[in-house]
A and B are shown apart, each in its own frame.
Chain A
Amino acid sequence: MAADDRPVNETAAPREPGIMIDATRRPTAEKHGPEPLNPAAEQDPNAPRRSMIWDFKARGEPFLWGFGGALAVGILMIAAFLALVLYNGILTFYPQPIEVITLRDGTMVAGELFRSEVYKPGPELVAQLAEPVRKEIESKEGLVERFLYRTGNFDLYNQDFRWVSDYEIAKVAKPPGMVFFERIEWGPFVGTIKQLDLNGTILDGKSLSWAKLRKEQESAAHRRDRIHNIERNEIATVNYYLEQGRLKLRKVELTYGLNSLEYQAAQSKFKQASEKLDADYRDLSAEAAAIKERDAKYTITLADVSEKEKTLKLSDIVRFYQANTLTFNGKLGVYLSRWWEFLSQEPREANTEGGVMPAIFGTLCMTVLMALAVSPFGVMAALYLREYAKQGRLVSIVRICVNNLAGVPSIVYGVFGLGFFAYVLGAGIDRMFFPERLPTPTFGTGGLLWASLTLALLTVPVVIVATEEALASVPQSMREGSLACGASKWQTIKYIVLPRAMPGIMTGLILAMARGAGEVAPLMLVGVVKMAPELPFDHIFPYIHLERSFMHLGFQIYDVGFQSRNSEAARPMVYTTTLLLISLVFAMNAASIVIRNRLKRKFSMGQF
């Protein structure tokens, strides 16, 4: 109350209109000098109105253009980036026609056109060329267009891409007989079928029916899967149990000593078990060997465009199609089957071919585990900070520290995760629970658990800040209403504050998950590998193996793009993997946003 020292009659009531008059007059009075109150000043209709000039500046139009421009540049960059990834990612798997090029020196080249560019050949190169060709190049101001063909056949020529300059080309054709083979090893093969050897029955390539070939290839693929299954799953399981038995024995040895009765009993038990497992192993490997032997009798002989021949097992072929006679539906079929392989299969050829299923799985597992770890931790910390802690200097310092944590470079978290989680915590767990496995570390090295916890640590500031804001945005009137009903502070938080703040908390979690799923640098230190032998989930007890290293889409992009032997061949894979990672993050975000909006609708209907 400001009325203390005034006579009663002069308080608030008469003051109100006075303020209003001030508010309307003040700008004119200040900006126009003394005259505007005098109507004579506005008599000349042609004189510029000074108020308009003043308005223009006051509205801040130049700033507005700046703001709009900044936003436009930002949107443009994002749109261009998304368009690039989408275009390349979506088109990668679409089958291209095979062009057969006859060069002027008589060499034949066959392959998919990959890309083209214009360049200027050096003068010494031009000098070597024949006269008419030189003239032609000069007429184009010394510029030459060259084409990059994906020729495949790496095993025959030690390269699977080849540049062809336009002046070298004599003839380009798209013969219908050319077939594109995708193989387990050595990348694609471009050429024709010479003959098929089905366990001694020889079929000539020319008279071979396409349906017959497809049927044989499918049964060969079936054999290949069976061998793979025996070797990778069944024998691996036997080996796992054998190893478990050995570890159990070692544990008895460590507990009771080598000469104890317990050790002898355990040893004889282990012998029995391992004999049985050895027998299983022999059976399985014999079965696998038998299938392999049979499989080796089904071969196909291919010939490339220069009639160089190559014989390989039928089961080595993943997919084949006649690129130049494919109908639209056929192309679509190849396209979809490639996507399916990409999403559901394991990688081949140092990750540059095949699928990325383990990486998708690893990314999802890690993100979900991270969210599970970070949400209770972050929400509880924020609840204490906002609702219980006495708001003072200490809390302000803690808050500043939390905000600063969000700015620490992620690789630092990686180093911390490796140093603390793996080498201190993990090593301690190993010494306590897995002494029999030492010196091989179990938890004492990078793994799914440590990677998730490291990322949880990395994202916890995001969750804390978002949760605090969400809690602060719950109206005080709600809390008062609840307290006035006789609810305790905890009941108020549980029944009123937390449900109301849930949408905001979810937003924080979404941000954290998006950041975590896209993070690569710290993961390289705490558990992500180029090629993980096993998934972190399988059929062997305890089903979840948190200590295992795993694959990750972000790391896959880095690895395929920059660490593979042939960056040209890997590039499409980089785009598709990027597209996949973006879609994955987008899908996780979209799911959380849907949940958040559902909550929001429930809690924030109009007040009136």
Chain B
Amino acid sequence: MPIREEGFLETVYHLKEGPHGRVLSIEQFCLWYGEKQALFDVNMTVEKGLVTALIGPSGCGKSTLLRAINRMNDLIEGLRTDGRILLDGADIYSPAVDVIGLRKAMGMVFQKPNPFPMSIADNVIYPLKVDGVRDKRVLQETVVNALESAALWDEVKDRLHENALGLSGGQQQRLCIARAIAGEPDVLLMDEPCSALDPVATAKIEDLMDELRGRYTIVIVTHNMQQAARVSDNTAFMYLGKLIEYGETSRIFTNPKVEKTMEYVTGRFG
């Protein structure tokens, strides 16, 4: 396969299509932090019900892209974007969009577990609380369902009203996942969810992602290539703010079409 070495002008695609079509399409998306451009003309889609991994060396823009999807980047001053991100066909950057509503449609799990300083149950129902849900029965069901989905129920069912900060790191991260799915989001965004965890906790989170596959669309940013290979269906490789290659995970890790991808996944740089 001939491989372009310079410029990376065009992205190479060979993605696996999901059974339910696409949920997100990112079109010509550019992003600037002040004067510095962080994303260059990113074009990609996220398939519904599949797990999509974003990989690439530090500073390649994968977290920026992830945070652009639920507009968490809005908090940064001097930020500018161009292009579109369509969620079910509607541009999330159009002025008419309610950012709060948008974030409710997306669950997000962060690099470091960030449970709130309140009880475990209160953490899980936080998205409902800010939505104004007061019905005790609904809240109770949500706690049980979300914790069961996050494979945490058995460990915490006897101490739902204890402070969440008393949990272990891995449990805290699963609690954050439970919190993220409690609001029934369309897409679950995970920003290096295992980078602060030990291998056992990491394995549990990966198992959990496997279980959530199909029920939720997951976009995960990871530094750990084995993890990307294990959990994802499609993988996007980014480099210097550009999307280099986006395709089926097995192909990316065994036989990528771009040499840069090959160099990265075989550990020659990054």
Binary B-proximity of A473-515 (CB < 8 A = 1, otherwise 0)? 0010111111111111001000110011000000000000000
**Within B149-189, which residues are at the interface with A (CB < 8 Å)?**
163, 165-166, 168-169, 172, 176, 179-180, 183
**Within B55-82, which residues are at the interface with A (CB < 8 Å)?**
57-60, 70, 72, 75, 77
> Max chain A CB contacts within 10 Å: which of B57, B106, B126?
B126
User: A605 at the A/B interface (Cβ < 8 Å)?
Assistant: yes
The answer to whether A484 touches B117, judged by C-beta atoms less than 8 angstroms apart, is no
User: A603 at the A/B interface (Cβ < 8 Å)?
Assistant: yes
Binary B-proximity of A374-408 (CB < 8 A = 1, otherwise 0)? 00000000000000001100000000000000000
Known contacts A481-B114, A481-B176, A486-B103: does B269 contact A605 (CB below 8 Å)? no
Which A residues lie within 8 Å of B112 (CB)? 477, 607
Known contacts A483-B103, A484-B103: does B117 contact A8 (CB below 8 Å)? no
The answer to whether B126 touches A495, judged by C-beta atoms less than 8 angstroms apart, is yes
The answer to whether A605 touches B163, judged by C-beta atoms less than 8 angstroms apart, is yes
- From B19-27, B127-135, B227-235, give the one contacting chain A: B127-135
Known contacts A488-B130, A495-B126, A607-B165: does B268 contact A480 (CB below 8 Å)? no
The answer to whether B70 touches A484, judged by C-beta atoms less than 8 angstroms apart, is yes
The answer to whether B106 touches A484, judged by C-beta atoms less than 8 angstroms apart, is yes
Binary B-proximity of A459-478 (CB < 8 A = 1, otherwise 0)? 00000000000000001011
| CB < 8 Å neighbour of B127 from A475, A485, A608 | A485
The answer to whether A487 touches B116, judged by C-beta atoms less than 8 angstroms apart, is no
Binary A-proximity of B76-115 (CB < 8 A = 1, otherwise 0)? 0100000000000000000000001101101110101111
Q: How far is the CB of A499 from chain B (nearest CB, A)?
A: 7
User: B148 at the A/B interface (Cβ < 8 Å)?
Assistant: no
The answer to whether A8 touches B163, judged by C-beta atoms less than 8 angstroms apart, is no
Q: How far is the CB of A390 from chain B (nearest CB, A)?
A: 8
Q: Interface residue count for B (Cβ, 8 Å)? A: 43
Which A residues lie within 8 Å of B183 (CB)? 485-486
The answer to whether A605 touches B166, judged by C-beta atoms less than 8 angstroms apart, is yes
Which B residues lie within 8 Å of A18 (CB)? none
The answer to whether A12 touches B168, judged by C-beta atoms less than 8 angstroms apart, is no
User: B240 at the A/B interface (Cβ < 8 Å)?
Assistant: yes
| CB < 8 Å neighbour of B116 from A3, A4, A486, A495 | A495
Q: How far is the CB of B223 from chain A (nearest CB, A)?
A: 13
Q: How far is the CB of A601 from chain B (nearest CB, A)?
A: 9
Q: In the assembly, what is the distance between CA of A483 and CA of B240, in Å?
A: 28
User: B210 at the A/B interface (Cβ < 8 Å)?
Assistant: no
| CB < 8 Å neighbour of A477 from B59, B77, B114, B240 | B114
Which B residues lie within 8 Å of A260 (CB)? none
Known contacts A11-B269, A500-B117: does B107 contact A484 (CB below 8 Å)? yes
Which A residues lie within 8 Å of B115 (CB)? 481
Q: Interface residue count for A (Cβ, 8 Å)? A: 35
Q: In the assembly, what is the distance between CA of A52 and CA of B172, in Å?
A: 49
The answer to whether B104 touches A13, judged by C-beta atoms less than 8 angstroms apart, is no
Main secondary structure of the interface of A (DSSP, over half): helix
Which B residues lie within 8 Å of A482 (CB)? 116, 126, 130
The answer to whether B126 touches A9, judged by C-beta atoms less than 8 angstroms apart, is no
Q: How far is the CB of A226 from chain B (nearest CB, A)?
A: 58
The answer to whether A1 touches B240, judged by C-beta atoms less than 8 angstroms apart, is yes
The answer to whether A486 touches B127, judged by C-beta atoms less than 8 angstroms apart, is yes
User: B211 at the A/B interface (Cβ < 8 Å)?
Assistant: no
Q: In the assembly, what is the distance between CA of A485 and CA of B142, in Å?
A: 14
User: A606 at the A/B interface (Cβ < 8 Å)?
Assistant: yes
User: A602 at the A/B interface (Cβ < 8 Å)?
Assistant: yes
User: A604 at the A/B interface (Cβ < 8 Å)?
Assistant: yes
The answer to whether A8 touches B72, judged by C-beta atoms less than 8 angstroms apart, is no
| CB < 8 Å neighbour of A486 from B59, B77, B104, B268 | B104
The answer to whether A486 touches B100, judged by C-beta atoms less than 8 angstroms apart, is yes
User: B263 at the A/B interface (Cβ < 8 Å)?
Assistant: yes
The answer to whether A495 touches B103, judged by C-beta atoms less than 8 angstroms apart, is no
Q: How far is the CB of B29 from chain A (nearest CB, A)?
A: 19
Which B residues lie within 8 Å of A481 (CB)? 108, 110, 114-116, 176, 179
**Within A588-608, which residues are at the interface with B (CB < 8 Å)?**
602-608
Which A residues lie within 8 Å of B110 (CB)? 477, 480-481, 484
Q: In the assembly, what is the distance between CA of A485 and CA of B163, in Å?
A: 19
**Within A552-608, which residues are at the interface with B (CB < 8 Å)?**
602-608
Residue of A nearest to B112 (CB): A477
Residue of A nearest to B267 (CB): A13
Q: In the assembly, what is the distance between CA of A471 and CA of B200, in Å?
A: 35
Which A residues lie within 8 Å of B126 (CB)? 482, 485, 487, 495
| CB < 8 Å neighbour of B240 from A4, A390, A607 | A4
Known contacts A9-B268, A480-B75, A487-B130: does B117 contact A604 (CB below 8 Å)? yes
21 chain-A/chain-B pairs, Cβ below 8 angstroms: A1-B57, A1-B59, A1-B240, A4-B240, A8-B269, A9-B269, A480-B72, A483-B103, A484-B70, A485-B103, A485-B104, A486-B103, A486-B127, A486-B183, A491-B130, A495-B126, A495-B129, A496-B116, A499-B117, A605-B163, A605-B166
Which residues of B pack against A, CB within 8 Å?
57-60, 70, 72, 75, 77, 100-101, 103-104, 106-108, 110, 112-118, 126-127, 129-131, 163, 165-166, 168-169, 172, 176, 179-180, 183, 240, 263, 268-270
7 additional A-B residue pairs with CB within 8 Å, beyond A1-B59, A485-B130, A495-B129 = A1-B57, A13-B269, A390-B77, A482-B130, A484-B70, A603-B165, A604-B165
Which residues of A pack against B, CB within 8 Å?
1, 3-4, 8-9, 11-13, 390-391, 475, 477-488, 491, 495-496, 499-500, 602-608
